[in-house]
Structure 1
Amino acid sequence: MHDGSLRRWIKGFLQEGVLGVRRSATNRRYSIDLKVAAVVDYQDNGLSRQEVLHKYNIRSNSQLTDWVIRYNSGKLLAPKGAGKRVRKMGRKVSYDEKIKIVQWALDHDSDYQVTAKEFDVSYNRVYDWVRKYQATGNWEVLKDRRGKKPRPKGDALTREEQLEEENRQLKAKVRRLEVERAFAKKLREIRNREVDDPQNTKRFRN
């Protein structure tokens, strides 16, 4: 058994129990909306790779990397027959301009491709900005949250913060050990039940 497969099974068990193990052993299809949301959370909203993988139940780093590359090249949301689109992903777009772009898109029946060409930005970015605004009704969601200053290295944690961090790490360790033990036990039970059915056990082999 590959280490990657074992980690994927444990992750599935932690999230969904035995059903999660079965699902993790099969291929999963992700919607376009989920892919875009994952990329935006990673690139624009400050989530780490591991946080994004856990939040969207993504199987591997390589999948997220592929989505990021396709998103930034304007390919992730390409509608069929849409033709060539502008791909200026590196252009800096201000907060005020994002508002203007979203307003223009909404005034033109949410035609993302036309809006992208009008403002020389990608289809993906227009789609994401409009979607976020419509979901919240708040223009603040369009602000760029990248580049937030981390706590300076010289700033020591307070005693309360230290205790909270130690407690968080301890709980995470205990939880991980509990999950690993429960998973190993459940996997043995599954194999014992299905030992007489080779068709089922094939799904748990690599």
Structure 2
Amino acid sequence: MATVSEAVTARHSTRAFVPRAVEEGVLREIVDVARYAPSSGNLQPWKLVVLTGAPLERLKAAVSHTLAQAPRGEGMGYPIYPEHLQAAYQARRSQCAEDLYATLGVARDDRLGRGQQFVRNFRFFDAPVGMILAIDRSLEVGQWADLGGFLQTLMLLAHERGLATCAQACWTLVHRTVERQLALGPEWMVFCGVALGYADPDQPINGLRTQREALSEVADFRGFAQ
């Protein structure tokens, strides 16, 4: 099994999976341990729906129908990015997209190719397991931070067991369909989807590794002896 440091540095978003089932016992074990992720006031503000087989196919079919009627989706349940993203962040986002499509041989002006790849999000990239992570609508920004901690914990635990994941904020674009299909109840808001399974090592897209800023750019150490 991977150490925490190894899992953090080696885990990456996987967008191509082999058709190998994941045992229910393994999934239950991962989620059971992820429950121990910290949260402010111990609110534990998350709800996770784990799907495979027929329930997963029904969700994908419902979303496919929605997108056939409304290709741009149903409107976002929450804004993934601010309307005016500052230049430094936009540069990172653009570079990530360029690098991703380069692995597929999809050119910048190939709108059809890019669109086809984006739609694969809503099939969980054909992963054998799809998860939907939701948060109570009544909660505040601090609880959204807690939700991120739970999500990271979940993905690291999956990596420890040889599984690959991809967190997908785009599921908020079809939040109404997802909430209705999964009968989440009006109090729950879809935060993201998570594709999970065994990575296909032969697919170039799985070789993508996004860049990280230097330590000196993200952390300022003060009061330490030089």
Q: What is the TM-score when the length of structure 1 is the normalising length?
A: 0.24
Structure with higher helix content? 1
Please say which structure displays the higher CA radius of gyration.
1
Structure with higher strand content? 2
